Amino acid sequence: MRLAFFPPSRQPDAVDAEADGFMLFLATERGLSAAYQLSVRQTLDALAAHLRRKGLPLADVGTDELSDFLMERKKSGLAASSLRIATVHLKVFFRWLASRGKLPMDPAEPLLSPRPEQTLPETLHGSEVKRLLDSIDPAQPLGRRDLAMLELFYASGLRLSELCSVRLEGLDLDEGFIRVTGKGNKTRIVPVGGRAREAVTDYLRNERPTLVTRRTSSEIFLSIRGTRLSPDRVRQIVKERAALAGIEQNVYPHLLRHSFATHLLEGGADLRVIQELLGHADIATTQIYTHVDGARLKAIHKKFHPRG
């Protein structure tokens, strides 16, 4: 493996000199990627610049000084996710210094990482989902395939990887269920709604046979070459279909999964049921959709209540 080494871009001071040794350690002893090394180097360069402005030598750096540095980075516009990474960089750097006796103690050990920002998932309105699905003409080339895929995304809340890998033997259209393998190689059974069943049945009868070649295996959704569709190609198809439907919002496969869960919650479905349908190991992951629903209720209240 080719080693990368990122020296400072100016005359070295104490932090720069120790950072050089640390970067060499990451490259030679830890064998970490060049991208990771560059990320660490950027954090340490920013720390060195901060200490120079404050006139602080490395020996005088304590937890308060590192907290001030992170606060300065936050005020400069660094996102919480990037601050978490910078905090990790400081922790591993100062742990390394202390373990080699270059500092009497590790000042970064008490640092707390910023909480990750909780961003609400985007969703499509029900009318937009209808417009997207209704815009696909099954009579057009690959129309049956694309309609079946999008109907299944929305009807069953599948992940992209699950849809690409689902096989004929996992499909029971008579009973209206599909068996998929999700994260952690866990298998779950998910219902397939009426419209999706019709679309998948039409595709399997009238279009999939025309795509089959000697290389074809039992994946349900095939490319024009008879091979399973790749995740990148499915993303492209979803975007193309949304553009043709005149939907300006950025539409991607996971957006249909978010919409599936949000619309179920809005319709009164129990959160535990939604958790099972989505294949979430922890209900805390599913609870993000309660925030989406709460945001919608607040918007309605503000719009229609006299003192909203």
- For residue 241, give the 3-state DSSP assignment: helix
- Catalytic residue from among 54, 183, 225, 302: 183
50 is known as an active-site residue: no
User: Which long-range contacts link 277-285 to residues 24+ away (Cβ below 8 Å)?
Assistant: 277/156, 277/157, 277/190, 277/191, 278/157, 279/159, 279/180, 279/182, 279/183, 279/186, 279/188, 281/183, 281/184, 281/186
257 is known as an active-site residue: yes
289 is known as an active-site residue: yes
Q: Are 132 and 259 in contact (CB under 8 A)?
A: no
159 is known as an active-site residue: yes
Q: Are 43 and 74 in contact (CB under 8 A)?
A: no
CB-based contacts of 262: which residues, under 8 Å, 6+ apart?
A: 121, 123, 289, 292, 293
Strand residues in the chain grouped as ranges (E)? 171-172, 177-181, 187-191
280 is known as an active-site residue: yes
Q: Are 308 and 301 in contact (CB under 8 A)?
A: yes
Q: Are 151 and 141 in contact (CB under 8 A)?
A: no
203 is known as an active-site residue: no
What number of other Cβ atoms are within 10 A of residue 20's Cβ? 17
Q: Which amino acid is at 239?
A: K
- Catalytic residue from among 159, 208, 228, 258: 159
Alpha carbon 8 to chain centroid, angstroms: 33
- Catalytic residue from among 254, 291, 298, 303: 254
- Catalytic residue from among 208, 228, 257, 258: 257
Q: Say how far apart CA 255 and CA 118 lie, in whole Å.
A: 17
Residues assigned a catalytic role: 159, 183, 254, 257, 280, 289
